[in-house]
Amino acid sequence: MEKEMFSPMAIDALGEMMNISLGSSATAVSNMLDHRVDITTPTVSVVDVKDFSLGNLEPAIGVEIKYVEGLEGSNIMLLKRSDIKVIVDILMGMETADEEFELNELTISCVCEVMNQMMGSAATAMSDFLGFRVDISTPVSFELEDLDQFKQEHLPQGADQIVVVRFFLKIEDALESEFMNVMSVALAKELLKSLGLEDEVSSGGSPAPAAPSVQPAPEASASNRPLSQEEIEAMLAGGGASAPAPAPAPAPESSNHMMSQEEIEKLLSAAAAPTETPAPAPAPAPAPQAAPAAEKPAPKPQAPKEEEISYTNIMQVLVEEKAPRYIKKFGICTCKQCEADVKALTLTNLVPKYVVLSKLDRIPMLTVYEGRFNSTILAQLTRACKLVMDRPHHGR
């Protein structure tokens, strides 16, 4: 079916785009889980909605993100439920029996955070690839219990086909399984259009109407027959559009009259008389110019003020900023003791990163370091929240 919808070049372009974006996702997940993560080259296919099935992914869990800037539509990641358990166990630093694992608020938060890092990195890589900003919404996870219900609630309504991207994800010494990414045909076309490959997509529209043929003007029949007097009068009486050309003025008649002596003298005196030229207007008097003002002396350069420079532990600043949100997200007690325990446990497992910053450079540099260490900090924050939730100290 993909040959009818997309050309082989379009399929290869979609595969390469997903390969680049998912490769960036592997790096983000690897940093977060502290395990090597590899993703195989994805395979792209166009599937009829009625024929779509989960295959080996059942029972599956879906994570949906929506594009909020740059692109329109949504992207759905489908994973095995057992694979989700492995990822959550690695993130939490614990092992859960299969029969005890459930999708509660804590595990859903972990899954969404992993997918947020994964799809966020993919969106950043896609932005670099396409040349414009691409931003996504917060991921939303759901259990896929009924395939027909999934098609009705999450696939584009009225669509006959969808684009399915399959790839294998391998986590070092923990997991090797197939993942599936589902997107609409409209989103795939938009991606191809951004690459200038809209010609590789079948439009499916009706052909443009043919331009009307231009009929040549009939040639005027020429005749050498002389017109009769009646025909001439009829043409003159009926043709009032163009006025007759004016007759040329008669040339002045030449005369052999001899000029007298008086006439000759008058002509010579008139030609010799000088023409009076008007006297030039007097030039205006120049306006009086004001005396130039005395130049002010240049101000003396002031000594530059010393910037407020201090050393900062980047990790501590970012943990202080992020910890309250995660404490609330995991439903942990918000007392001062539990909040301090979460921050202390997180910082204990992070390598300090001290930098020297001025007051003006503080905000932009914090943004740079946040992008670099975000996944590492979130992984340790999640583990710290789990430990404090299980063994709080505020009652002691």
Strands 74-80 and 354-358: unpaired
Give dist(CA 19, CA 23) in Å, integer. Answer: 6
Q: What angle separates helix 314-329 from helix 336-348, to the nearest 10 degrees? A: 130
Domains of the chain by residue range: 2-200, 309-390
End-to-end CA distance of the chain: 66
Residue ranges with strand state E in the chain: 37-39, 43-48, 60-69, 74-80, 135-136, 140-144, 161-171, 175-184, 309-313, 354-358
Q: Which CATH class is domain 2-200?
A: alpha beta
Quick one: pLDDT band at residue 347, thresholds 50, 70, 90? very high
DSSP string covering 253-274: PP--PPPPHHHHHHHHHHHHSP
Measured over all CA atoms, what is the biggest interatomic distance in the chain, rounded to whole angstroms?
146
The pLDDT of 139-150, averaged and rounded, is: 84
Per-residue pLDDT tens over the stretch 298-338: 566 555 455 678 888 888 998 998 889 888 877 788 888 89
| pLDDT at residue 2 greater than cutoff 60 | no
So what's the pLDDT on residue 54? 83
Give dist(CA 291, CA 196) in Å, integer. Answer: 67
So what's the pLDDT on residue 213? 44
So what's the pLDDT on residue 280? 59
So what's the pLDDT on residue 245? 47
* Burial class of residue 79 (count of CB atoms within 10 Å of its CB; 0-12, 13-18, 19+): buried
The pLDDT of 94-119, averaged and rounded, is: 78
So what's the pLDDT on residue 286? 59
